[in-house]
Amino acid sequence: MAFLSGLSAFPITPSNRDGRVDTVALRRLIARLGAARVDSIGLLGSTGTYIYLSREERRRALSVTLDETAGRMPVVVGVGALRTDEAVRLAQDAKALGAAAGLLAAASYTPLADDEVFEHFSTVARESGLPIVVYDNPGTTHFHFTPALVSRLAKVGGIAAIKNPTDKGDAIKSHLADQRRTVPEGFSIGYSGDWNAAEAMIAGADTWYSVLAGILPDVCMTIVTAAQRGDAAEARRIDAALVPLWSLFKEFSSLRVVYALADLLDICRADPPRPILPLPAPAKRRVAAALERLPSDAGR
């Protein structure tokens, strides 16, 4: 799909302790992404804590986001759930409200087999009519999509793209080439894992699904723009300025760090959903220091 390219920015979903979405704060975050002209918004991803929100709150978050974007950019929304029937209903909600695509992970309490995941994804795509992005997130789900399973899913009508992890930056180029050989033309291949995403875009990936872009979209856009015009040196230069943030992502999780960034940038004040706790004060000071060290041309 043509819209599944470039920079897809994944914001947090500010909410109170009862799981009610703070729509004013969410609008502020979405407006920031619109001003940066990101290529798409990835609402209710892992950073958007979709798994902690009720169906009603997910609908509220999506409705507010679509109203704020007013059709200026596509919105990909998380539709993951433990049960297939629930994921179908969430995807149907997303389609009815006007989302461009659904992001679906293989979330399960009991480990899943490949055939179970294939049926889960195929059913959601078929019964919702919403284009589906395969979300390969083994660090969270403990399920990894094999090349054979990706190839099978890519041939299912309505499954349009994949969001790959990037554990090893030096392996992305060969991984991308191998995956392109097994999926149909037009199937969008993207990557998450912000600290390796510059290399993914330089290698020719279609999309960077970015946590940092959900809070600092401008600097991420400069990396994508440089990579797309073939200026690998510039993309790597800007990426190098973000190494302190990447290190904090790895140490504390990107989720906790972006909540701290939202506060430090005075965008919104919210805590991640319990039982996740916000960063302790010493760690937050390190995030503030990393933010201050960003070069002026990196954007804030």
- Please give the DSSP secondary-structure letter assigned to residue 298: G
Report the distance separating Cα 172 and Cα 191, nearest Å. 9
Residue from 50, 163, 259, 284 carrying the catalytic annotation: 163
Is residue 130 within a helix (H) or strand (E), and if so which, with residue range?
Answer: none
What are 28's two structure tokens?
């502020």
Distances (CA, A) of 294 to 149, 213, 217, 245, 298: 40, 15, 14, 9, 6
Question: Contact 274/17 with Cβ under 8 angstroms?
Answer: yes
What are 126's two structure tokens?
């078929």
Strands (E), the chain: 6-9, 40-43, 75-78, 101-105, 132-135, 159-164, 188-191, 207-210
What is the SS3 assignment for 104? strand
Let me know if 135 is a catalytic residue.
Answer: yes
Residue from 50, 135, 209, 259 carrying the catalytic annotation: 135
Catalytic residue positions?
A: 135, 163
